[in-house]
Amino acid sequence: MSLYFISDLHLQTDKPCITQGFVSYIAALPDDAEALYILGDFFEYWVGDDDRNDLIDQVQTTLSALKKRGVTLYFQHGNRDFLLGKQYADRCGMTLLDEEHVIDYDGTRYLLMHGDSLCTSDTEYMAFRQQSRNPEWQAMMLSLSLEERHALAKNVRDTSQTETRMKADDITDVTQAAVEERMRANDVQQLIHGHTHRPKQHEFNLSESSATRHVLGDWSDTNGWDIRLSANGVVLNKFAHTDHTS
């Protein structure tokens, strides 16, 4: 049996091609799929489980159907959808994971993360991250009207995109020291994450042994990325959405 990992789809109503690509991807998951791990930034932004629209309902229907096929679903929060809660997860049949989660597959331990907490050189974002993960701040946000939450979320997104374009690449990428520190703390030699939109498999030495950091890519109107973990190892895969259409 195989485990599948995706992240950074940034699903949104004005990009229907990505949504259709996701629906087709789910429908085409092979019978060997034991579990699907969604490692954050699944939605472009999330303002609360009380929000409803056609996209949110379509994703729920798609994931519920996959759950009925016997595939176990897991969700890890990203920097865009950290307010996604148990109510919506339950409706989809997903189990919420902590921001650092270790799995054991065939005797090897893998650390799963969204990846934003590893970008420690981006001090402005790290300050916002600390604030936005505060339960009191989240409760305050969720107490606002849906209209107010949508307006705030769009403003934060637009500001973030503008600031990111102005930052050097090494600022918005993970720092190796943070990677190694979290891997040592979790006693792993393998890390799977998203967030940076820089898909690659990085090999390095950690505690005098070989280690690998597997980075998922973000989805576009034409392409998606996943990782398949099986008896053959870890495979990072880029695919065209048309690969999954009939």
Digitized pLDDT (tens) for each residue of the chain, 246 residues in all: 999 999 999 999 999 999 999 999 999 999 999 999 999 999 999 999 999 999 999 999 999 999 999 999 999 999 999 999 999 999 999 999 999 999 999 999 999 999 999 999 999 999 999 999 999 999 999 999 999 999 999 998 888 887 777 777 778 899 999 999 999 999 999 999 999 999 999 999 998 999 999 999 999 999 999 999 999 999 999 999 988 765
CA distance 194 to 38: 10
Amino acid letter at 106? D
For residue 10, the SS3 value is: coil
Identify which of 5, 16, 13, 23 has the alpha carbon closest to the alpha carbon of residue 56. Answer: 13
Give the distance, in angstroms, between the CA of residue 66 and the centroid of all CA atoms in the same chain. 18
Note the pTM of the prediction, 2 decimals.
Answer: 0.96
